[in-house]
Chains A and B, each alone.
Chain A
């Protein structure tokens, strides 16, 4: 759980694979054994749209679905009826009821989720004390990783609710927009190790007694800290740590449970990427990491792939033809139209070739990862019809 490095690669070591297996989205969604689908990937690759589209498709194929989104585009959130951030799943209007499925959606409110955990774990007075502490405010609203941690926390809660109430049989989770897809898996560990850190133990030590030996060193440290931060900061810190300490055992346990849930067979990870070097590199790291954590990978979704509408005319041929047409020699109106079409095609050919090259590299390194390629749409997705279309494209 603590291999936070990207230094060692995992792969076939020698491979000439050019095409990997296709990812069968419908089989995945229809399988009653699938009860959690987690969409991960680096920021800006279309995770939110993908998770919403998968959830809608599953619901319209008969599953009782809840989708946890992190930060949907405003219009999409409106279309799904979740523009108010209230941390509660609500039914999405306009879902086709023929297959007797249902779709609820919610948007994660990170701070509120954190507050609720504190409130559920501590006595009212203690909870109030924690919620008001400036360190808690900082931790709950902007600690790098809190969003990931809270997404996991919420997933755990939804799963518990689903089991208890039978309201849902499939949970689709979007993950926070981070630079690195690995953040989602690392955040809980990061928070744990932070709250478990040596310094926190030290701050608690005087209250707990036995760490006498360290007090001399601690004096130097607190003096230095007081110099830099001021005495009041240190006092706040100590109050916070003391108040939070008793709570933290609970936090750890919950994180551990969610982590185990992610390793269970009922979970399926979909790694989402765009056909760009950075996104595919992140996807590769994530795929390897899932393997190391024994987490079930369902496949890779490559969004926004460029495609060609015609064959038999290479980019070079198109450019050469455009050149030959030159200015003035064309019969078409508007002027230069045909040459423009040809150059457009040449440009697209280059883009397609580049993306294909990038994808092939991924396949060579990860020949067994089933992949779905979703062509780029020429319009934005901001309503259920758009999501349906994406769902169809995902299903191939």
Chain B
């Protein structure tokens, strides 16, 4: 695993400052790239690993001694699966904590936000509805409000996040967080999801829920918030990332960084890849090296290695094209290597360390 490093390795110079290969010293650079940001929204196209990245970011932030809340809103218990813990209730639960005993260790709490529970909580918090609250549920209103009007649903989901960010000592048993990481809906829906105001505009022009939406919007558009986009180096996800950034910007929502996930390992440098693409890798030399290394060399084996090299070079060429498109987006970029054995808790820690090294946390 350790040979996979993140860095430029002979990438064409047109890429610019895409990846940061300098290992950062967190002590000298305490804030990372996002000082003052309290709400990290993480989105990405399906299959790019946005939940994994959100979890890794939460861990990275916590490793700096922060109290972090990691939220999911899509009702699929992704956090529980990633951390290999039982399904999360609608309740903040600690799922990871630093092991230093001096009391400075950060912690990650997790919360699976459900719109129905959020609505009931919202009602009891602001309206003391009592009997009516129960009646609402009995008459199917909760169901109705959280299904029909996507605006209402999203206001409830983001509203809970808003509450967690703005929480202060007012509530007695309330936990305060230094940062909230939101595993948000996918890129195709992110601007709509966050732009609760305009979603509601047609439905509720006045009224309390509208007021609530306005406060949420203020937080989401402020310097306290950044929306990070996760992508892989393929045409469609990169296109969606570009579109997503355009939509977010148009809506006045602050774009954070792009996290390029599942990056292939970078064993071959540009020269070697160039030769591989032209089928001009020095076969005899490679064969000699293999013999020296004690490999049982057959012609098929060398041919196979060369074919794998060529496929790798083709894929990398395509990745570099996409990397250039991402660089043109002009936002901070982070790269995470593909984990050949898949994602488990250890891999999450590793990804968190990579994000830390690159300054995302």
Contact = CB atoms under 8 A, between A and B. Distances in A.
Contact of B139 (A194, A199, A378): A199
Interface in A115-145: 134-135, 137-139, 142-144
Contacts of B149: 135, 138
A351 B340 contact: yes
Given A274-B47, A333-B285, A344 B312 contact: yes
* Residue in A138, A217, A380 whose Cβ sees the most chain B Cβ within 10 Å: A138
Nearest to A323: B293
A164 B139 CA distance: 45
A223 interface: yes
Given A221-B136, A348-B308, A378 B314 contact: yes
A347 B127 contact: no
B147 A194 contact: yes
Contacts of A232: 204-207
A138 B301 CA distance: 60
B314 A332 contact: no
Nearest to B133: A224
A345 interface: yes
Contact of A144 (B150, B289, B341): B150
Interface stretch (A25-33, A38-46, A100-108, A361-369): A38-46
A102 B110 CA distance: 53
Counting contact residues on chain B (CB < 8 A from A), the size range is: 35 or more
B268 A340 contact: yes
Interface stretch (B14-22, B233-241, B249-257, B348-356): B233-241
B169 interface: no
A138 B318 contact: no
Contact of A310 (B74, B131, B148, B308): B308
B210 to A, nearest CB: 7
B9 to A, nearest CB: 11
A167 interface: no
A330 B291 CA distance: 11
A229 interface: yes
Nearest to B150: A142
Interface in B123-158: 123, 127, 129, 131-133, 135-136, 138-141, 143-145, 147-152
A343 B289 CA distance: 14
B199 interface: yes
B294 A347 contact: no
B308 A344 contact: yes
Nearest to B74: A179
B351 to A, nearest CB: 16
Contact of A221 (B141, B234, B294): B141
Nearest to A45: B47
Interface string A357-396: 0000000000000000000001110100000000000000
A180 B267 CA distance: 36
Contacts of A312: 296, 298, 300-301
A324 interface: yes
A354 B338 CA distance: 13
Given A44-B48, A309-B307, A310-B308, A332 B293 contact: no
Nearest to B192: A142
Nearest to A178: B46
B342 interface: yes
Given A220-B131, A331-B288, A310 B300 contact: yes
B203 A236 contact: yes
A227 B208 contact: yes
B305 A310 contact: yes
Contacts of B133: 224
B139 A347 contact: no
Contact of B235 (A73, A139, A227, A337): A73
A74 B127 contact: no
B329 interface: no
B292 interface: yes
B57 interface: no
Contacts of A279: 47
A380 B140 contact: no
Nearest to A277: B342
B20 to A, nearest CB: 23
B103 interface: no
B340 A322 contact: no
A310 B302 CA distance: 8
Contacts of B151: 138
A378 B318 CA distance: 8
Contact of B144 (A177, A194, A276, A309): A194
B18 to A, nearest CB: 20
A166 interface: no
A224 B127 contact: yes
A333 to B, nearest CB: 7
Given A138-B148, A224-B132, A331-B285, A233 B204 contact: yes
A374 B116 CA distance: 41
* Residue in B123, B140, B143, B318 whose Cβ sees the most chain A Cβ within 10 Å: B140
A197 interface: yes
B311 A228 contact: no
A372 to B, nearest CB: 20
Given A194-B144, A312-B298, 8 more contacts: A73-B239, A142-B199, A144-B150, A177-B188, A224-B136, A229-B209, A341-B305, A354-B341
Q: 9 closest Cβ contacts across the A-B interface?
A: A44-B47, A310-B304, A230-B207, A43-B46, A338-B289, A198-B140, A134-B202, A44-B46, A332-B285
20 contacts: A134-B202, A138-B149, A138-B199, A177-B46, A177-B188, A199-B140, A217-B139, A224-B133, A224-B136, A230-B210, A310-B307, A311-B304, A322-B293, A324-B294, A330-B292, A331-B288, A337-B268, A341-B268, A341-B309, A342-B295
